Amino acid sequence: MVCIRCKMVVKSELQKLGIHQARVELGEVETREDITPEQLEKLDKALKNTGLELMDDKKSILVEKIKAVIIELVHYNEDEIKISHSDFVSKKLNQNYAYLAHLFSEVKGMTIEKFYLVHKIEKVKELLVYDDLSLTEIAYRLQYSSVAHLSNQFKKMTGLSPAHFKELRHKKRRVLGNV
């Protein structure tokens, strides 16, 4: 689960099945009682109908946690980023970053760095279209070393300059769950 709506869907499906959850976090659910195999099968089917899925593979679960931490850092952090993404992920998950990076690449076929950059560019798009921030303020907020660095990375990943993108405004942003 990588979004707040996902948590709401999971809570709703658990409720429908009469399963009392103690905690629903991004990527994990803790229940008050054991779930029967029949309930688990029904939950899996209900979640698949909503575009979600159950994971019981420890590697996949950890990768989902990494994704959730990156998304939290980039999209739900209101302040400018003051820590490197590697330190943030490592501290948040209490794991060695080299191990997490290797695991993420193995499972997702892309590096954490690339995943982070894709989300940063999506955040830049959002800020360009919806906020009154200047490119300088956006660069500072998202921890770019300069406006030129942000602009070069933006153009490399989108094919457009930030100014041209802002003019277009109709260019659709990616749905976070599909990134």
Over range 127-134, report the average pLDDT.
Answer: 86
State pLDDT tens for residues 58-69. Answer: 888 899 889 989
State yes or no: pLDDT of 113 exceeds 90: yes
User: Which of 108-112, 139-143, 167-171 shows the highest mean pLDDT?
Assistant: 108-112
Can you tell me the distance from the alpha carbon of 154 to that of 144, in angstroms, rounded to the nearest whole number?
11
Instruction: Give the model's pLDDT for residue 151.
Output: 96
State yes or no: pLDDT of 125 exceeds 90: yes
Of 21, 38, 178, 76, nearest in space to 10 by CA? 21
State pLDDT tens for residues 1-35. Answer: 446 788 888 888 888 888 887 788 766 788 888 88
Q: Are 162 and 149 in contact (CB under 8 A)?
A: no
Q: Indicate the average pLDDT of the chain.
A: 86
User: Which of 12-21, 49-58, 162-171 shows the highest mean pLDDT?
Assistant: 12-21
Instruction: Give the model's pLDDT for residue 39.
Output: 86
State yes or no: pLDDT of 119 exceeds 80: yes
Give, in order, the Cα–Cα distances in Å from 115 to each of 30, 77, 85, 157.
27, 17, 11, 12
Over range 43-72, report the average pLDDT.
Answer: 86
Instruction: Give the model's pLDDT for residue 1.
Output: 41
Can you tell me the distance from the alpha carbon of 27 to that of 10, in angstroms, rounded to the nearest whole number?
10
Place of tokens 């490119």: 135
Can you tell me the distance from the alpha carbon of 106 to that of 111, in angstroms, rounded to the nearest whole number?
9
Walk me through the domains of the chain, giving residue ranges and CATH numbers: 4-54 (no CATH), 59-178 (1.10.10.60)
Give 150's contacts (C-beta < 8 A, 6+ positions apart).
124, 135, 138, 139, 142, 144, 162
pTM recorded for the entire structure = 0.72
Place of tokens 């191990």: 99
Can you tell me the distance from the alpha carbon of 104 to that of 89, in angstroms, rounded to the nearest whole number?
12
CA 87 from centre of chain? 16
Can you tell me the distance from the alpha carbon of 5 to that of 160, in angstroms, rounded to the nearest whole number?
31
Over range 132-140, report the average pLDDT.
Answer: 90
Q: Is 21 helix (H, G, I), strand (E, B) or coil?
A: strand
